[in-house]
């Protein structure tokens, strides 16, 4: 299956919090999108690995993506090393995405920045013909995505560009509610966390509104780039 976009997050719900609006908008435009979680989020204060996986698959169905894979790297302790790079290389070469969306360049949670670098390195290595990988016993050909974009997470980083998600914020919030163990649930007896308060959803809406205001739309999601990109003429920027 050839993908247009592969969205990668280190924890289930990273992608949804930061890029669900962008993803659903592109799916509605006819693009094929897949999701990849590096870990099961097993170190999260609330829930468990099994619950997170179940919630992640429900969110994937609601978004309408082609698939969702979870690599089961060690939450909190994975490394940017050859073993983990090659796991991602295998996925990249199997699905050949044109665009990668991945974790923030740096963030409050140390896994986010580390995942960001791991994915970037894997994207580069995936394009080298002397880096070998196999899938189902077959040698894979080199493939490098055309662009890697980092979605914004907890910490504010000045965006390099914004994506208009007007009309998709309510759908994004509906997707996030698939993570019943992680976000506000008045019937939960688990410890309260940073993201489990009612105010967290408000912060998502307020941030999307602020980004939208900057480009003259209702809501937007923010991204950073690793390298400058060009346009054919100035009117592509309007």
Q: pLDDT digit of tens for each residue in the chain (238 aa)?
A: 899 999 999 999 999 999 999 999 999 999 999 999 999 999 999 999 999 999 999 999 999 999 999 999 999 999 999 999 999 999 999 999 999 999 999 999 999 999 999 999 999 999 999 999 998 889 999 999 999 999 999 999 999 999 999 999 999 999 999 999 999 888 888 898 989 998 999 999 999 999 999 999 999 999 999 988 898 998 988 7
Residue 98: per-residue pLDDT: 98
pLDDT of residue 189: 85
**Is residue 206, in this structure, part of any structural domain at all?**
yes
| pLDDT value, residue 124 | 98
Does residue 234 lie in a domain region? Answer: no
Q: Is residue 152 part of a domain?
A: yes
pLDDT of residue 1: 85
- Residue 38's domain is classified under what CATH number? 3.40.50.10320
28 falls within a domain: yes
- Which pLDDT value is given to residue 161? 96
Domain that holds residue 172: 5-229
Buried b (16+ CB within 10 A) or exposed e, 17-49: bbbbbbbbbbbeeeebbbbbbbbbbbebebbeb
In a domain, 166, yes or no: yes
CA–CA separation, 202 and 222 (whole Å): 17
pLDDT at position 238, please?
A: 78
Domain-embedded: residue 61: yes
Residue 11 lies in a domain: yes
Q: What is the model's pLDDT at position 198?
A: 87
Domain count, the chain: 1
Contacts of 132 (CB under 8 A, 6+ apart): 139, 140
Give the model's pLDDT for residue 136: 87
90: Cβ–Cβ under 8 A, 6 or more apart, which residues?
133, 134, 135, 140
Any domain includes 225: yes
Dihedral sign of CA atoms 222, 194, 173, 5 in order: positive
């Amino acid at each position: 299956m050839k993908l247009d976009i592969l969205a990668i997050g280190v924890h289930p719900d990273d992608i949804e919090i930061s890029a669900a609006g962008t993803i659903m908008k592109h799916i509605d435009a006819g693009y094929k999108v897949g999701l990849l979680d590096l870990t099961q989020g097993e170190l999260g204060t609330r829930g468990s690995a099994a619950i997170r996986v179940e919630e992640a698959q429900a969110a994937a169905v609601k978004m309408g993506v082609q698939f969702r894979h979870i690599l089961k790297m060690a939450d909190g302790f994975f490394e940017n090393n050859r073993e983990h790079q090659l796991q991602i290389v295998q996925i990249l070469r199997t699905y050949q995405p044109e665009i990668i969306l991945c974790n923030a360049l740096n963030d409050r949670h140390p896994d986010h920045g580390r995942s960001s670098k791991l994915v970037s390195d894997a994207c580069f290595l995936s394009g080298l013909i002397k880096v070998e990988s196999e899938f189902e016993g077959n040698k894979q050909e080199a493939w490098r995505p055309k662009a890697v974009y980092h979605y914004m997470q907890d910490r504010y980083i000045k965006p390099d560009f914004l994506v208009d998600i007007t009309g998709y914020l309510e759908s994004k919030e509906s997707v996030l509610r698939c993570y019943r163990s992680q976000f506000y649930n008045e019937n939960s007896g688990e410890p309260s966390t940073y993201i489990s308060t009612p105010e967290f959803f408000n912060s998502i809406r307020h941030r999307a509104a602020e980004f939208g205001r900057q480009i003259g739309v209702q809501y937007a999601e923010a991204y950073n780039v690793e390298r400058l990109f060009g346009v054919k003429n100035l009117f592509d920027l309007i």
